[in-house]
Structure 1
């Protein structure tokens, strides 16, 4: 399984959500200019929650998760 396939999978969605929550939590703990991490975390949370992969179009694949997964079926 390639990295791109993993990101499009259910496990990949959860990994993006957890990574986003971790970045937001770090922002709360560190404060100051670290708020920039919260913005990146929010993007990860949104990507996982709304099922889209921002890297997919760079490889000529659809942005939406269901459409992306159809391109990888055997």
Structure 2
């Protein structure tokens, strides 16, 4: 649960965006089938940029980042 709380935080958003960029860069460098990593990287970048946590619904929390963070402050 702590990792999901971290991923929903502002720092977690930055980690997701940075991890996504790294995956996209690796995919472009390696080419071929490794380009599938770029799709995963794009998901990470979108999740961080648009503030949603894909793992939150697995623990019964809202997908939207702002609503997700409110469940831990109240």
Q: TM-score, normalised by structure 2?
A: 0.96
Greater share of helix residues, 1 or 2? 2
For 2:51, the equivalent position in structure 1 comes to 51
Q: Tell me which stretches of 4 or more aligned residues in structure 1 moved more than 2 Å.
A: none
For 1:19, the equivalent position in structure 2 comes to 19
d(CA) in 2 for partners of 1:72, 1:3: 13
Please report how far the alpha carbon of residue 69 of structure 1 lies from its aligned counterpart in structure 2 after TM superposition: 0.3
Structure 1 runs not aligned, ≥5 long: none
Structure 2 runs not aligned, ≥5 long: none
Q: TM-score, normalised by structure 1?
A: 0.96
